[in-house]
Structure 1
Amino acid sequence: MSTAADPPTEADPERVASALSGAAFVRMYPRPTGDALAAAGVLARALDERGTPFQVRTTRGDAVPDGDGSALAVGWPAPNATGIAPGSRPVSAVAAAIADALGADPDPLVGLAGVVAAGTVSGDGASGGLLEEAERRGVVDRRPGVAVPTADLADGLAHSTLIRTPYSGDAEAAREVCADLGIADSDGDDLDEGDHRRLASAVALDATADATERAVSAVERALRPYATPTGPFATLGGHADVLSALARERPGLGVALALGGDVADAALATWRDHAARVHEALADPTTGRYDGAFVARVEAAPADAPALAAAARLVHDYASPEPVALVVSDDAAAAASDGSSDVTAALGAGVDATTDSDEGDRDDPAGVDRDGEHAAVIGDDRLGEARFAGGDVQAFIGAFREALR
C-alpha cells in the first residue's frame, strides 16, 4: 500500500474569516502541536479584539464535540467543523492571514513561534508579513548564537529538542562545554556577539559530527536566533520549543501560553521534564535500517509516550539515513519524514496489525483514553504518533514498513 502524501489542501483565509465573522461564539479545537496552539492563540486574540466570545480546547479526536456556536478545527480537517488543515504553510501563518481578513492585528510573536514549531524558518511559509511586523515593533532582534528559551545557555542546550548533541539531556556536561568556551556562567544576557558565535560554532560541530547530511540543515534552524526581548522566553526558537513541549505534555498550559498568560515558569518546568524524557528515550536505542525507514526501538513507559514525537523528529533530523524515522516502544510510536511518505497513514497500518494480532479493537486500544475523545493515531504526512495495545511490536514495524512501499 502506497502512502505517498497527497498535495496539501490549503484553507482559504477569506472563507474561514467569513465563517468566524458572523459567529456569536467560537469553539476552537487545535491539535496538540506547537504550530496549532500558536494558530489558536492568534485567532483567539483576533476574536477577542472583535469582542467575539471563544473557547479553546485541544483534541485528539476524529471529530469536534457537539456544542453551541461555531466550531473550528485548527491543524486538522474535521468532518463536522470549519477546518484549517496542515498544508504547505504552517497553520499559524494561515491563522495570521485569517486574523488579517477579520480586520485584526495578528500577534507576530505568537504567530512566528508557531511557524518555527512547524519546522519552518521565520519569514518562510507565507510568514514574511509576520516577521516584518515583528521587526517593526521591535519584538525580535536577530543575533548570533543558539535558539534556546532560557538566559542560562547550559540549561537551554541540555534541554533543547531542536538539536541533538552529546550533552543533550545533561546540564552539567553542557555547562562544561560553555566553560571550555570561556562562558563560565553561561548567562546569555551577559555575552557579546563573539561569545555567541563561538557557542554556535561548537554546537554546530557537535550536532553534525558523525551525523547525516540532513543534520546540517536541521542545526542551522537552531542557529542565529531571533532574540525576543519583550517575549516570555529568550529567543523565538526557544519559544517554539517550549510551545511544542507543552502541546504534547500539558496542552491546557500551552493554550494559556498561546493566549498570553503569565505561565512562563510553569512552561519552562514542563519543557525541561519533556526534554529529559525525549533525550532519555534516545540514550540507548536499538536501531535498524531498512529500505526507506530507520527504526529506533526504545525503552519508554506509557507515561513517556508524549515524548516520542520529538524523539522521532530528532532521529529523522540527526540520525536517520533514510527519509522516514520511526521511534517505537512497547505501546507507543511516532514517526517523522521529509513529506515524501505519509507517516501517519503508515502508523495507522501498524496499529491495525498490532491490534489485529491481539484480537483487539482498533477503536478502543489500551493506553488510549476510552471516552471517545482520543484517537489512536494522529498527525500529518511529516509527523505522527500512535498509541496501541502493547501487542506484537515486530508486527507493528513490519506493517509500518509495508505501508511505506
Structure 2
Amino acid sequence: MTEATTATPAPDALADVLADAPFARLVATDDGDALAAAGLLARALRAVGTPFQVRVSTDPVPGDADDGVSVTVGAARGPHAIPGAGRPASTDAFAVSRALGVKPDPVVALAGVVAAGSVPGTDGSGDALDAAEASERVRRRPGVAIPTADLADGVAASTLVRTPYSGDPESARAALAELGLPAALDDDAHRRLASLVAVDVADADGGSARAASAVERALRPYAADGPFETVGGYADVLEALAREAPGTGVALALDPEPSDDLRTAALDAWRSHGLAAHRALNAATTGRYDGCVVVRVDLAGSDPDEDGAAARDAAAVLPTVARLARDFRSPEPVAVAVDETAGRLAAAAVEPLGLGDACRSVATEFDGDGWGTAERGGLAVGAGGEGGGTETDGDITGALAALREAL
C-alpha cells in the first residue's frame, strides 16, 4: 500500500463528516505528532458527544466503517485522513477541532508540532501558538526543552539532543555540576545550560554537520502550563510513548488533566526509551555508504524471553536510534539502524524519499513485513528476534542491501 491515496481534507469538510458520524475510529501512526493529533480529535469528539475509538499502529489501515467513520492520522490512507505531510498533523487536528465548535488544547497541538520536527508558530501552527500565548499557557524562555524538573534526568534521556552524556544520567549530572547552577533556575542559569548542551552537541565525537542545526529545536523552549515542564519535553514524551507504550500515550493525549500516576508512567516509559536509544547508539558500529549511514546495534540481545520482549524493545527503539543517527551522526541524507538479532531495521530520511514504500517493497522479497511513511520506514524479516541466529542475520543483511539499492 502506498502513501498517496487521499488528499488532505479542508478542516471544515472533515469536521462535517465527524459531526454527523455515529461512531469514529481514529488510527494514528506511531509518532508523537500523530498521537497528539489523534488526542485532539478524540477530545473534540468527546466534547460533541460522538463515540470514538483510538489506536496506534506502525502502518495504519482504515478500519471497517460500516457503522461509522474511520480517520487515518499521520498517513494518507482511506477517504478520511489527516496525512501530516507538508505540515504537522496536529495543526490540522487543531483546526478540525475548532471547526467542530470545540476549544482544543493548544499545548497538545504545539507538542505535536515539535514532535513533527517543526517549530511552534510555523507550518500552520500559528493559531495554536496564539491561543497558547493568549491564555498564558506557554512562555518562551532560554534553556533546553526537557519534560522534567531534574535537569540531568532530562538531558540524559532526551531524544531531542545527543551529547557525550546522553544515555548516562550520572555523567550528565557531573557535567551540570561544573556549571554551579542555582537550585532555582533563572534565565541566566537556563542560558548557561543551553550553551553547555549546544557546545557539547557540536563537539561530540562522530557528530555530523547537521547536529548543530538539529539541536536548535531543543533550545529556547516554551515553558508550558501542562503535565511536563516544556512543550518540547511534552513532544519528546509523546514520541517515545507512541512506540514504547502506545496505550499510555493515548491515555495521556486524551486526558486534559493527567493524574500523577499517569504522568509518572509516561515519564518512566520516556526515560527507559530515551536511555535505551542513546546507549544503543553509543555501542553501535557505523558504516557509511553512498546515500546512507548504517548503524548496527544489538537491542534484542542473544536471548530474548519467551514472550519476545527483546524483539518488542527493538521494534520500539530502533526508529528512535535511526532518527538520532540521522540528526546527529549521519553525513548522508538517510540513516538506517539495524538489529540483526531481532531481524529488524528502521530508516529515517532528512527529506521525503518514499522510505515506507521502499521498505514494503523490499519486505515482499524477503517474506517479511515493511511499513512507514515518506520520511521513515522499517521492516522485519526472518525469525524477527525469536531466537536470532545466522538465518535471521542473513535475511536482514540481504534486506538492508536491497533497501540501500532501492534508495
Query: Given the two structures, how large is their TM-score scaled by the length of structure 1?
Result: 0.88
Indicate the structure whose relative CO is greater, using CA pairs within 8 Å and at least 6 residues apart.
Answer: 1
Structure 1 counterpart of 2:45, which letter?
L
- Structure 2 CA distance for aligned equivalents of residues 321 and 6 of structure 1: 29
Q: Please state whether the residue corresponding to 1:56 is helix, strand or coil.
A: strand
Structure 2 counterpart of 1:381, which letter?
A
What is the match of residue 308 of structure 2? none
- Structure 2 CA distance for aligned equivalents of residues 107 and 176 of structure 1: 37
What is the match of residue 256 of structure 1? 251
What is the match of residue 138 of structure 2? 140
What is the match of residue 306 of structure 2? none
Instruction: Report whether the alignment pairs 1:200 with 2:203.
Output: no
What is the match of residue 57 of structure 1? 55
Equivalent in 227, 238, 247 of residue 232 of structure 1: 227
Q: Please state whether the residue corresponding to 2:57 is helix, strand or coil.
A: coil
- Structure 2 CA distance for aligned equivalents of residues 296 and 206 of structure 1: 21
What is the match of residue 95 of structure 1? 93
Alpha-carbon offset, residue 17 of structure 1: 1.2
Equivalent in 208, 212, 215 of residue 216 of structure 1: 212
Alignment of 1:49-128 (within 5 A): 49-61=47-59, 63-66=61-64, 68-79=67-78, 81-128=79-126
Cα deviation digits, residues 155-198 of structure 1 (max 9, x gap) = 000110111111001001000111000127xx5xx111111111
Q: Please state whether the residue corresponding to 1:282 is helix, strand or coil.
A: helix
What is the match of residue 289 of structure 1? 288
Deviates more, 1:94-103 or 1:376-385: 376-385
Q: Are 1:72 and 1:83, in contact at CA under 8 Å, matched by a contact in 2? A: yes
Alpha-carbon offset, residue 62 of structure 1: 5.1
Alignment of 1:250-399 (within 5 A): 250-260=245-255, 261-262=258-259, 263-301=262-300, 302-305=311-314, 306-330=316-340, 331-355=343-367, 362=368, 376-389=369-382, 390=392, 391-399=394-402
- Structure 2 CA distance for aligned equivalents of residues 19 and 292 of structure 1: 43
Structure 1 counterpart of 2:179, which letter?
L
Unaligned runs of 5+ in 2: 301-310, 383-391
- Structure 1 CA distance for aligned equivalents of residues 59 and 191 of structure 2: 44
Cα deviation digits, residues 34-92 of structure 1 (max 9, x gap) = 1111001111121222122222122345523336322111112333x522113101111
Structure 1 residues 128, 54: closer, same or farther in 2, change over 3 A?
A: same
Q: Are 1:346 and 1:401, in contact at CA under 8 Å, matched by a contact in 2? A: no
What is the match of residue 183 of structure 1? 181
Q: Please state whether the residue corresponding to 1:36 is helix, strand or coil.
A: helix
Instruction: Report whether the alignment pairs 1:37 with 2:40.
Output: no
Cα deviation digits, residues 363-402 of structure 1 (max 9, x gap) = xxxxxxxxxxxxx333211122222223423211211111
Alpha-carbon offset, residue 125 of structure 1: 1.1
Length, aligned pairs only: 376
- Structure 2 CA distance for aligned equivalents of residues 74 and 259 of structure 1: 15
Q: Are 2:29 and 2:60, in contact at CA under 8 Å, matched by a contact in 1? A: no
Q: Please state whether the residue corresponding to 2:218 is helix, strand or coil.
A: coil
- Structure 2 CA distance for aligned equivalents of residues 7 and 74 of structure 1: 13
- Structure 2 CA distance for aligned equivalents of residues 343 and 85 of structure 1: 15
What is the match of residue 26 of structure 1? 24
Identity of aligned residues (%): 50
Q: Are 1:8 and 1:86, in contact at CA under 8 Å, matched by a contact in 2? A: no
Structure 2 counterpart of 1:304, which letter?
D
Query: Given the two structures, how large is their TM-score scaled by the length of structure 2?
Result: 0.88
- Structure 1 CA distance for aligned equivalents of residues 319 and 95 of structure 2: 28
Deviates more, 1:215-224 or 1:68-77: 68-77
What is the match of residue 167 of structure 1? 165
Q: Are 2:35 and 2:249, in contact at CA under 8 Å, matched by a contact in 1? A: yes
Q: Please state whether the residue corresponding to 1:322 is helix, strand or coil.
A: coil
- Structure 2 CA distance for aligned equivalents of residues 212 and 7 of structure 1: 35
Q: Are 1:11 and 1:94, in contact at CA under 8 Å, matched by a contact in 2? A: no
Q: Please state whether the residue corresponding to 2:379 is helix, strand or coil.
A: strand
- Structure 1 CA distance for aligned equivalents of residues 276 and 36 of structure 2: 23
Structure 2 counterpart of 1:225, which letter?
P
- Structure 2 CA distance for aligned equivalents of residues 7 and 206 of structure 1: 43
Q: Are 1:28 and 1:73, in contact at CA under 8 Å, matched by a contact in 2? A: yes
What is the match of residue 386 of structure 2? none
Structure 1 residues 120, 62: closer, same or farther in 2, change over 3 A?
A: closer
Structure 1 residues 62, 244: closer, same or farther in 2, change over 3 A?
A: closer
- Structure 1 CA distance for aligned equivalents of residues 294 and 11 of structure 2: 38
Structure 1 residues 195, 320: closer, same or farther in 2, change over 3 A?
A: same
Q: Please state whether the residue corresponding to 1:254 is helix, strand or coil.
A: helix
